[in-house]
């Protein structure tokens, strides 16, 4: 199984709503990532988790709150978002071990619309 599964595929939320994006992998990967991608732009790194601990936060606003409850799951909690936060949110995972440099696997993303 080389899949990274993201749910939901599409999400529409109001600016006062609280919602969560979910990402799951069963490849035994210990590094997991959240990216944000606006239309016609490259993916932008938001967060990196290494062995269930947050290792990188690319100065993301606090209305985005990541969580890694176990080695297979990664959540992104959303609260009080703005319309400009509408984007494709991508999750990825990789081995996460220094001695083994391998590829990252990406999910198909959640397309988020904030109204």
Partner 1 sequence: DAKTTQPTSMDCAEGRAANLPCNHSTISGNEYVYWYRQIHSQGPQYIIHGLKNNETNEMASLIITEDRKSSTLILPHATLRDTAVYYCIVTGYSGGSNYKLTFGKGTLLTVNP
Question: 56 vs 115, which CB is nearer to partner 1?
Answer: 56
- DSSP for 34-83, written as a single string: EEEE-TTS--EEEEEEETTEEEEE-S--TTEEEEEEETTEEEEEEES--G
Residue pair 3/103 in contact by the 8 Å Cβ criterion: no
The verdict on 80 binding partner 1 (CB under 8 A) reads no
Q: Near partner 1 by CB under 8 A, which window of 13-21, 65-73, 75-83, 101-109?
A: 101-109
Residue 101 engages partner 1 in binding (rule: CB under 8 A): yes
Nearer to partner 1, 20 or 95 (CB): 95
If one asks whether residue 84 binds partner 1 (CB under 8 A), the answer comes out as no
């Amino acid at each position: 199984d080389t899949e990274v599964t993201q749910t939901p595929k599409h999400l529409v939320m109001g600016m006062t709503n609280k919602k969560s994006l979910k990402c799951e992998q069963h490849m035994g990967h210990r590094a997991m990532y959240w990216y944000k991608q606006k239309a016609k732009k490259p993916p932008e790194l938001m967060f990196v988790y290494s062995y269930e601990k947050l290792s990188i936060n690319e100065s993301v606003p606090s209305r985005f709150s990541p969580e890694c409850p176990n080695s297979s799951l990664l959540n992104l909690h959303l609260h009080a978002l703005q319309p400009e936060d509408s984007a494709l949110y991508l999750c990825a995972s990789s081995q996460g071990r220094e001695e083994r440099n391998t590829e990252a696997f990406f999910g198909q993303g959640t397309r988020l619309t904030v109204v």
